[in-house]
Structure 1
């Protein structure tokens, strides 16, 4: 290949990448840089230019007890949703990967919550959680038990949101596990059957290690989902009662669009991005060593 042909090929590749690079720059990198810059300034009042304050906004944020309450809520939410939704999605994928009567209907039932818009799902669960006429309290009443204020009790509200989120996410993650299970060569199972390997041992020794790339992918997505909760909080609780269900991204929304404090919203956003970057780096560093790529 001549030098001219090689340069034409490089130019052709660069032109193919240009649309994606422009979109990524405009909607990912540029807003991120703008948010970082905004977090270092205080807004000017009455036409005054913004005042550079360096890291003072971060110091004020870390001294705010409400921020730590919201961060604690988000940590509890992540610990409640990530392992539960992953374990449930894997169990569902293992079930529907077998030869079952009506397997297509079972798969559709598991996946249906995923295709529902979050606003619609939140309204459905609002009916489930309603104090007087809600489905859950009706079921408790049928067994002679007293009802609960699922979304109005600060000790229960966050866990009620966690249950709804797991219900919404598990079917989506199931698709990835199901695709990974169907990509495992059947010869491995046949060889294990000839050796008399139990189903449980085959799962832990063969199936689960081969699912590690999918598990890593699902884990990162579950982590991102755990910090981007806004819409169903807006419908169900609006962060209440008494900030018991207020999570980080909803706190950003509150500061930016309810209190019009864009600087604090930008500061919280940068903190979220840094935490996600650190956690994702640790996950890829530690889990990649135990990942078996086919």
Structure 2
């Protein structure tokens, strides 16, 4: 007993050293998160409770009035509808296309490295450069698309200049840009799956579709969840290609959430309403993150 009591202070000291070592490792990340995430988020939340100040009339605390103004603004609901449609199309289409490209690029084929590089090339292009490239496709009468459709006698279409097609044109650019990036994650996940599973499935008489549905897709669910979260964040933070392609027009047809926040803050100098919109976006992303880590994460990982 005296010997075990003598060892207790040593064990406690080791635990303290381990805890101190852990906090030392966490300190740089905590400092960066505090400076560039927590403090700006707190300042944005606090600023959303004040009115728009002017040199003659300083800002005053108005509670939830900025949020009420947003909900009463028709532009707010237009932006929400555009963002929901944009996310509802780009996320599943990008994920499905990325999975198909990964399955093809993972197979045995000639020039497999060239195919993988071709799929990944759009990802390495800056978004501004990619948007300017697609302007060459969408230019009415002079673009590649109208030049091709003109061969069949079809009239030119102002793809970015009419509300019926503008948002869909932006969606095409996003899918083209992101599918190759998501393919890399699927390709890496496919290469970690043991080939014995395919052989076992063949012995059991399972075809390719059955193997894909019963084996590959369940094993790829953690990767799919990771890609889904990234695609969701990308759908909310899209702003740069809108500057080049549409600037939110025509008639707010392509105005998405973050672009409207920028417009309110730096074009109209209405920072309180921009802060309120930012808080709403953070709340939505926070709810999605909580659901992901508390509900979906337990269902998609094998324990």
Instruction: Tell whether the structures are fold-level matches, with TM greater than 0.5.
Output: yes
What is the root-mean-square deviation in Å for CA atoms of aligned residues? Answer: 1.4
Among 235, 252, 256, the residue aligned to 2:244: 235
1:283–1:50 CA distance, 2 compared to 1 (3 A): same
1:2 Cα shift? 3.2
Please tell me whether residue 138 in structure 1 is matched to residue 134 in structure 2.
no
Q: Report 1:164-203 matches (<5 A).
A: 164-203=173-212
Q: Which of 2, 27, 50 matches 2:11?
A: 2
Select 1:148's aligned residue among 150, 154, 157: 157
Higher Cα Rg, which structure:
2
Q: Distance in 1 between matches of 2:60 and 2:236?
A: 30
Q: Distance in 2 between matches of 1:69 and 1:286?
A: 31
- Number of equivalences: 294
Tell me the residue number matched to 1:288: 297
TM-aligned CA deviation for residue 8 of structure 1: 2.3
Partners of 1:154 and 1:241 within 8 A in 2: yes
Task: Check the 8 A contact 1:209/1:292 in 2, yes or no.
Answer: no
Q: Measure, in 2, the Cα distance between the counterparts of 1:107 and 1:206.
A: 24
Match of 2:33 among 3, 24, 45: 24
Segments of 5+ residues of structure 1 without an aligned counterpart are none
Measure how far apart 1:48 and its partner are.
5.5
The alpha-carbon deviation at position 289 of structure 1 amounts to 4.5
Q: Give the equivalent residue in structure 2 for 1:76.
A: 85
Match for residue 219 of structure 2? Answer: 210
Deviation at 1:162, TM superposition (A): 0.2
Which residue does 2:6 correspond to in 1?
A: none
Q: Give the superposition deviation at 1:145.
A: 1.3
Separation in 2, partners of 1:147, 1:240? 19
3-state SS of 2:23 partner: helix
Structure 1 window deviating more from structure 2 (281-290 vs 16-25): it is 281-290
**Match of 1:129?**
138
Equivalent residues of 2:52, 2:270 under 8 A apart:
no
Tell whether 2:259 aligns with 1:250: yes
Of the three residues 95, 118, 143, the one matched with 1:109 is 118
Q: Does 1:265 align with 2:264?
A: no
Q: How many angstroms does 1:280 deviate by?
A: 3.3
Given the two structures, how large is their TM-score scaled by the length of structure 1?
A: 0.96
TM-score by length of 2: 0.93
Task: Output the CA distance in 2 between the equivalents of 1:233 and 1:291.
Answer: 35
- The whole-number CA distance in structure 1 between the counterparts of 2:263 and 2:75 is 12
> Which residue is equivalent to 2:107?
98
Q: Distance in 2 between matches of 1:245 and 1:46?
A: 34
Q: Secondary structure at the match of 2:63?
A: coil
**How far apart in 1 are the matches of 2:195 and 2:174?**
34
Gaps of at least 5 residues in structure 2 are 1-9
Moved more, 139-148 or 240-249: 139-148
3-state DSSP of counterpart to 1:79: helix
CA distance, structure 1, for counterparts of residue 225 and residue 276 of structure 2: 29
Q: Is this contact kept in 2: 1:233–1:239, CA < 8 A? A: yes
CA distance in 2, matches of 1:9, 1:278: 33
For the residue of structure 1 that corresponds to 2:164, the secondary structure is coil
Q: Is the 8 A contact 1:212 1:290 kept in 2?
A: no
Tell me what 2:96 maps to: 87
The separation in 2 between residues aligned to 1:153 and 1:44, in whole angstroms, is 36
Offset at residue 279 of structure 1 (A): 2.9
Looking at structure 2, the residues matched to 147 and 293 of structure 1 have their Cα atoms a distance apart, in angstroms, of 53
TM superposition shift of 1:292: 3.2
